[in-house]
């Protein structure tokens, strides 16, 4: 292991005896010290290797025709603002010393008969300065490391995999719109990667270093949506025990991704439109307008044209969101990408989960994947690969590990793939069990059927079977219908 590098102190003074005296005093305390009689030479030495310098001691007056400490100070700080600087001043130059402190110096020492004592008394303060500088440097490097890791993780997570013509078109659109500070609407079936594309747009934009905030509108009860989006003040409602920032506020300077925007109530569609047009709002219970700089990316698997025709989605909001519309292809329509995506998911799973032995997909596994329709799109492929890697006992995933036959029959049974022989009007098959069980089974079947016919738009499904949205959400949770959606 490499030993820690010893950093040196630069002492700049045109008087040989003073310079030597200060160099010796620091040296006696175990410091590596280098003396200079000229400020320009010291500055050149600093610029050549800033990381080698721990502290700079500058004489305020370096003689006729030479720049003094006050003039050199900004140049030292320009090389590295974290380098501590101590000013040496002549007796009676206290005003200049104070001015130097205001200009960025960290301490000053007066040159008089008591200089030795002053240096001795200042050693502890100097040590604190150096310690603070080391702590600042460590913190800076840690922040840089964390930012690098965050950027790399973000890039890995939101990297679009594939080389098919359909996905190349998506990538071109992402790259083109990323630098334009306008909303984007992403359309696609469940599991096609809408959040992935939104993250890729954010990562490729000038906002990449700022927050990327995600909100699934359909997952938030209508009564809480206002607080989630815009925040609330303490006491705004019964459970508001403290002030809370909403998603728009958290995304300031960055990107807010609103998923399932087609399920947003009309009242909130109006509020979103207003924030897009006039980027300011008030928290619930608040009186002060909050201004934000947020790019909105929205996504939906709903048919917004049909929703606008039915009056359940505002056309003016659609027009505002649709500066660019990116339509994502089904995985079945870009089958050439399946092996690449599967390998990508396998590598990620192996990296994240210790003890997984699988390292590759065998030829029969790749052939099985090529012949599968993927009704759940990319999300389903990810689940298949990860489960197969978990079940696999060797280093290669085989076709038998994928369980595709089992998944096919399960999708048929869950009505994600309705059987052609079963008309929608067919009566339910007789059921056994208590009356309560039969009622629960009928509830579940009716909710699933409505979800399928509404393309998993919960608000529309609720309307189809004569329930309020909150009542339908209760059934959705009670019967765990999310697992069928995914």
> In the chain, what percentage of residues exceed pLDDT 90?
34
pLDDT reported for residue 133: 59
Give the three-state DSSP class for 394: coil
Beta strands in 160-283 (DSSP E): 184-187, 212-216, 255-259, 280-281
Binning pLDDT at 50, 70 and 90, where does residue 43 land? Answer: very high
For 345-371, the pLDDT digits (tens) are: 999 899 888 888 999 999 999 999 998
Structure tokens at 286: 């608040």
pLDDT at 315 over 90: yes
Residue appearing with tokens 């003074």: 13
**What's the rounded mean pLDDT across residues 455-460?**
81
Better-predicted residue by pLDDT, 318 or 88: 318
Q: How far is residue 302's CA from residue 456's CA, in Å, rounded to a whole number?
A: 8
CA 479 vs CA 86, 176, 179, 435, 443: distances in Å: 71, 43, 43, 17, 9
Low-confidence winner among 75-79, 88-92, 113-117, 149-153 (lowest mean pLDDT): 149-153
CA–centroid distance for 146 within its chain: 12
- The predicted structure's pLDDT at residue 431: 44
Rounded alpha-carbon distances, angstroms, from residue 151 to 155, 212, 289:
6, 12, 32
Phi-psi region of 233 (alpha: psi -120 to 50; beta: other; left: phi over 0): beta
**β-pairing, 107-111 with 85-90?**
parallel
At residue 236, what are phi and psi to the nearest 5 degrees? -65, -30
Q: Report the pLDDT averaged over residues 12-34.
A: 84
Tally of residues, the chain:
486
Count other Cβ atoms within 10 Å, centred on residue 245.
14
Q: Does residue 144 carry a pLDDT above 80?
A: no
pLDDT of res. 267: 86
pLDDT value, residue 245: 85
pLDDT digits (tens, 9 = 90+) for 206-261: 998 888 999 998 888 887 888 888 887 876 666 667 878 889 999 999 999 999 99
SS3 34: strand
**Averaged confidence pLDDT in the chain:** 81
Q: Which residue has the higher pLDDT, 228 or 474?
A: 228
Sorting pLDDT into bands at 50, 70 and 90, what band is 273? Answer: very high
With 0-12 / 13-18 / 19 or more C-beta atoms within 10 angstroms meaning exposed / middle / buried, residue 309 is exposed
Q: Which residues of 246-283 are buried (b: 16+ CB within 10 A; e: fewer)?
A: bbbbbbbebbbbbbbbbbbeeebbebbbebbeeeebeb
pTM score: 0.56
User: Averaged over 186-204, what is the pLDDT?
Assistant: 93
Better-scored residue on pLDDT, 237 or 192: 192
**Does residue 29 surpass a pLDDT of 80?**
no
Rounded CA gap, 252 and 232, in Å? 16
Quick check: 262 and 457 in contact, CB under 8 A? yes
d(CA 107, CA 85): 7
Report residue 125's pLDDT band, with 50, 70 and 90 as the boundaries: low
Confidence of residue 486 (pLDDT cuts 50, 70, 90): very low
Phi and psi at residue 481, to the nearest 5°: -75, -15
In whole angstroms, give the CA distance from residue 337 to residue 187: 20
């Amino acid at each position: 292991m490499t030993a820690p590098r010893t950093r040196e102190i630069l002492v700049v003074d045109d008087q040989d005896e003073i310079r030597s005296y200060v160099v010796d005093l620091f040296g006696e305390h175990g410091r590596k010290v280098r003396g200079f009689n000229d400020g320009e030479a010291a500055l050149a030495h600093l610029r050549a290797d800033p990381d080698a310098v721990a502290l700079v001691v500058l004489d305020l007056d370096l003689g006729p025709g030479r720049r003094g400490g006050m003039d050199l100070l900004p140049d030292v700080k320009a090389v590295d603002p974290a380098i501590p600087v101590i000013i040496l001043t002549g007796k009676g130059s206290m005003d200049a010393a104070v001015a130097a402190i205001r200009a960025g110096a960290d301490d000053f020492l007066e040159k008089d008969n008591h200089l030795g004592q002053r240096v001795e008394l200042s050693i502890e303060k100097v040590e604190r300065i150096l310690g603070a500088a080391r702590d600042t440097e460590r913190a800076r490097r840690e922040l840089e490391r964390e930012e690098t890791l965050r950027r790399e993780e973000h890039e890995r997570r939101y990297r679009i995999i594939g080389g098919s013509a359909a996905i190349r078109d998506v990538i071109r659109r992402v790259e083109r719109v990323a630098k334009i500070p306008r909303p984007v609407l992403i359309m696609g079936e469940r599991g096609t990667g809408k959040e992935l594309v939104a993250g890729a747009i954010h990562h490729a934009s000038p906002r990449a270093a700022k927050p990327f905030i995600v909100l699934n509108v359909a997952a938030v009860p209508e009564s809480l949506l206002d607080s989630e989006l815009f925040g609330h003040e303490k006491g705004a409602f019964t459970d508001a025990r403290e002030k809370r920032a909403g998603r728009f506020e958290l995304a300031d300077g960055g990107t807010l991704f609103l998923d399932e925007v087609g399920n947003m109530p009309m009242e909130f569609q109006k509020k979103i439109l207003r924030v897009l047009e006039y980027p300011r709002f008030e928290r619930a219970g608040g009186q002060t307008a909050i201004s934000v700089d947020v790019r909105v990316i929205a996504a939906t698997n709903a048919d917004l044209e049909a929703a606008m025709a039915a009056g359940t989605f505002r056309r003016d909001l659609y027009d505002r969101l649709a500066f660019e519309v990116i339509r994502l292809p089904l995985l079945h329509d870009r089958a050439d990408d399946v092996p690449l995506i599967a390998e990508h998911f396998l590598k990620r799973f192996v990296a994240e989960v210790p003890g997984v032995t699988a390292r590759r997909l065998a030829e029969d596994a790749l052939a099985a994947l090529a012949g599968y329709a993927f009704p759940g799109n990319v999300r389903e492929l990810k689940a298949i690969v990860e489960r197969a890697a978990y079940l696999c006992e060797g280093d290669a995933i085989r076709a038998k590990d994928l369980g595709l036959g089992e998944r096919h029959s399960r999708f048929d049974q869950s009505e994600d793939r309705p059987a052609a022989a079963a008309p929608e009007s067919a009566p339910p098959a007789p059921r056994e069990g208590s009356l309560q069980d039969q009622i629960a089974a009928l509830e579940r079947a009716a909710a699933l059927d409505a979800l399928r016919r509404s393309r998993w738009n919960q608000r529309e499904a609720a309307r189809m079977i004569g329930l309020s949205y909150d009542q339908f959400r209760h059934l959705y949770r009670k019967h765990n219908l999310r697992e069928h959606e995914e």
